[in-house]
Amino acid sequence: MWVISGIPSATVAAASRHGEGGDVPLRNHKHGWSDKYYSTVWLMAGYTRYEIYMTGTGSWNGMNLTRVLARTGRRYLAGPDQDFVLRPATGFTPPAVTRAGLYLHIPFCRSLCPYCPYDRIAYDADLAEPYAQAVLAELARYAGGEHKIQASSLYIGGGTPTTMLNQLGPMLKGFHELFDIAGEVALETTVGDITPAVVTRLRALDVDVLSLGVQSFDDRLLRAIGRIYSGEAAREAVSVAQAAGFQSLNVDLMFCLPGQTVPDFLRDLELVAQLGVDQVTCCPLFSFPYSTAGRSQGLPELRMPPPRGRRVMYHAMHAFLEGHGYRRVSVWGFKKGQGPRYSSVTRDEYVGLGAGAGSHIQGLSWFNTFCVPEYMAACAAGRSPVALSMAFTPAMERSFWLYWRLYDSSLDIGELRDHFRADAGKLWLLLAKARVLGMVREEAGRLWLTERGAFWIHLLQNEVALRAVDRIWGVCLHDPWPGEIRL
C-alpha cells in the first residue's frame, strides 16, 4: 500500500486498487498450428531456413537471439560509456521547452483488463476533478516564456480518457493556452465508452483523431482476454465513431491471443477493411511478468507469444493489409488515405503530463510518479511530480533517435546522416549490413524497412521495449518514488 499525503483517505483507498479491481485471470497461451505450416509459409515468403530456425524453434530460440542482438546493437550504437540508469529526481525542474509533441495520461478505466501493462486504476468519479486540477497545476510548471510553446500534436492516452469527458474541456483549454498545437489532437478510448453523444462531445472539443481499442471482433477471444463487450458492440462502436467525422479513425487489434488462429485474425482484419477503417494498429499480446497475466501464468521472465506464431501472423497481416490498399506507417500500424497518421510514441522530443507520463527533451528523459494520489498530492502542493530522470550522452541520444525512426519504419536519409555525423563509420557499416540482408530499400531520399526488416525490427523492439517497460513499470507501479532503475 502506498503512503499518501494531502489527499482524503476515501480517495486514496479508491485509487490504490491499482491494477487489482476487475482483473480476471487469463487462460493459458496456446497455439495450435503445426511447425510444417509455419515453415512452408515462411519459405514461400522468401525467408531462409536459418531465419525460420533462429526466430522460431530449438533451444536457442528467437527470444534469446533477439535479446543478444538488442544488447549488442545498443552497445554498438550507444558506446561503452552508456549509462541507461533512471535516478531519483527530487525537486526536478523541467528544462525550457521550445518545441515538443505533447502527451496527456488519463489513468482511469471502467474495467481493468488482466493483460494490460499500463498505469491505470479503477475509475472513481471523486478522483476525476482533483486529477484534472493536478494536470492544470503540472501544466503551469511549463509556463513562463514570452510566447506560446510550439507543439506538433497532442495525444491523450490512458487508461481510458473518455472516463474524464467532463474534465477534458478545461484540460484542453489549459493546453491551448500554453502551447500552439500545429497538428492533430488525438485521443484513445475503448468500445464500451463509445456512444453518439460521446463522439459528438469529442468532436466539439476539436479532437481530430480517435483511436478505438477493439482488440478483436470475436466474442470467444474477447472473453478469453477479459474484455467486457461483444464483437457486435465493437462493430457498432466503429460505425458510430466513423459517423462522427474524425479526420482519422484508428482501430487497435491484438494478435497471438489465447487460442487465436491465423484465420481468426484474418477475419478481424477483413472486418476492419469491410468497415472502411482508415488506420489499423496490430500488436501481438505482450505478457509482462508484473501484470496480472504475468502473475497468473507464473512467468519467470519476459515471455511473449512464441516468435514463430508472431511471425506467421505478422506475415499474414502484412499480406492482407497491403493487398487491401493499406500502407505500413509504423512497425505495427497500417493506413489508407490521407488523414493524419495516428501514433502515440514516435515524436523526437515530447512532454508528457499526468501520472506515469514520460518526457524527453534535449537529451534528458524523465518520468512522473506512477501513483495517482501521489501525483495529485505533489501537484496540489506545488511540488514536482517527477520521480525519475536520466541524462543521455550524445551517442545514447543518437541510438534513442534511431530506435524511434525505425519504429516509424522509414527515415529521411539526410536527417540520418545529420544525426550520425560524429559516428559516420558506424552508420555506414550498419546500413551496408542492412542492405545486404534485405532489411531496407532506398526510395525518394528515404530508407524504408522491407517486410523482412520490419519483422526483425519488431522483434528487436519487443525486446528493448519490453525490457524497459518491465523494468520501469514493474518498479514504478508499486513504488511512487523509486530508487535507481538500471535499464
Cα–Cα distance measured from residue 255 to residue 273, given in angstroms and rounded to the nearest whole number: 16
Query: Min. distance of Cβ 220 from ligand SAM in angstroms?
Result: 18
Cα–Cα distance measured from residue 147 to residue 139, given in angstroms and rounded to the nearest whole number: 15
Among 12, 54, 106, 116, binds ligand SAM (CB under 6 A): 116
Q: Exposed e or buried b for every residue in 122-158, given b needs 16+ CB within 10 A?
A: bbbeebbebbbbbbbbbbebbeeeeeebebbbbbbbb
Print the binding letters for residues 422-461 with ligand SAM: x by CB under 6 A, - otherwise: ----------------------------------------
Query: Min. distance of Cβ 75 from ligand SAM in angstroms?
Result: 27
Residue 118 lies near ligand SF4 (rule: CB under 6 A): yes
Print the binding letters for residues 245-284 with ligand SAM: x by CB under 6 A, - otherwise: -------x-x----------------------------x-
Residue 210 lies near ligand SF4 (rule: CB under 6 A): no
Cα–Cα distance measured from residue 453 to residue 441, given in angstroms and rounded to the nearest whole number: 9
Which of the choices ligand SAM, ligand SF4, none does residue 188 contact, using the CB cut-off of 5 to 8 A by kind? Answer: ligand SAM
Nearer to ligand SF4, 47 or 118 (CB): 118
With 0-12 / 13-18 / 19 or more C-beta atoms within 10 angstroms meaning exposed / middle / buried, residue 91 is exposed
H or E stretch at 191: none
DSSP 3-state percent helix, strand, coil across the chain (nearest 5): 45, 20, 35
193: Cβ contacts below 8 Å, ≥ 6 apart: 110, 160, 162, 163
Print the binding letters for residues 145-164 with ligand SF4: x by CB under 6 A, - otherwise: -------------xxx----
Residue 286 lies near ligand SAM (rule: CB under 6 A): yes
The one-character DSSP state at 141 is: T
Quote the cell numbers at residue 338: 490521407
Residue 330 lies near ligand SF4 (rule: CB under 6 A): no
Which of the choices ligand SF4, ligand SAM, none does residue 179 contact, using the CB cut-off of 5 to 8 A by kind? Answer: none
Site for ligand SAM, residues 154 to 173, rule: CB under 6 A: 158, 160
Which of the choices ligand SF4, ligand SAM, none does residue 112 contact, using the CB cut-off of 5 to 8 A by kind? Answer: ligand SF4
DSSP three-state, residue 326: coil
Query: Min. distance of Cβ 118 from ligand SF4 in angstroms?
Result: 5
Count CB-CB contacts under 10 A for residue 348. 16
Print the binding letters for residues 160-189 with ligand SF4: x by CB under 6 A, - otherwise: x-----------------------------
Nearer to ligand SAM, 89 or 192 (CB): 192
Q: If binding means CB under 6 A, how many residues of this protein chain bind ligand SAM? A: 17
Nearer to ligand SF4, 120 or 458 (CB): 120
Scanning 109-117, 173-181, 291-299, 375-383 for contacts with ligand SF4 by CB under 6 A, the matching segment is 109-117
Taken in order 437, 443, 446, 448, the sign of the CA dihedral is negative
213 and 171 Cβ atoms separated by less than 8 Å = no
Among 153, 190, 359, 399, binds ligand SF4 (CB under 6 A): 190
Scanning 111-119, 286-294, 300-308, 442-450 for contacts with ligand SF4 by CB under 6 A, the matching segment is 111-119
Which of the choices ligand SF4, ligand SAM, none does residue 164 contact, using the CB cut-off of 5 to 8 A by kind? Answer: none
Q: Nearest Cα to 227, choosing from 351, 367, 111?
A: 111
Residue 213 lies near ligand SAM (rule: CB under 6 A): yes
Among 15, 109, 172, 376, binds ligand SF4 (CB under 6 A): 109
DSSP string of 59-104, one letter each residue = SS-HHHHHHHHHHHHHHHHH-TT---EEEE-TT--PPP-SEEEEEE
Residue 118 lies near ligand SAM (rule: CB under 6 A): yes
Residue 115 lies near ligand SAM (rule: CB under 6 A): yes
Nearer to ligand SF4, 160 or 281 (CB): 160
Cα–Cα distance measured from residue 218 to residue 228, given in angstroms and rounded to the nearest whole number: 12
Residue 290 lies near ligand SF4 (rule: CB under 6 A): no
DSSP three-state, residue 198: helix
Cα–Cα distance measured from residue 136 to residue 178, given in angstroms and rounded to the nearest whole number: 11
Estimate to the nearest angstrom the gap between the alpha carbon of 173 and the chain centroid.
Answer: 25
Estimate to the nearest angstrom the gap between the alpha carbon of 212 and the chain centroid.
Answer: 14
Query: Min. distance of Cβ 19 from ligand SF4 in angstroms?
Result: 9
Residue type at 95 in one-letter notation: P
125-140 and 372-380 helices, crossing angle to 10°: 50
28: Cβ contacts below 8 Å, ≥ 6 apart: 258, 297
394 and 487 Cβ atoms separated by less than 8 Å = no
Nearer to ligand SAM, 242 or 389 (CB): 242
Among 97, 106, 116, 464, binds ligand SF4 (CB under 6 A): 116
Say if strands 333-335 and 350-353 run parallel, antiparallel, or are unpaired. unpaired
Residues that bind ligand SF4 (CB under 6 A): 109, 112-113, 116, 118, 120, 158-160, 190, 213
Residues that bind ligand SAM (CB under 6 A): 109, 115-118, 158, 160, 188-190, 213, 215, 252, 254, 283, 285-286
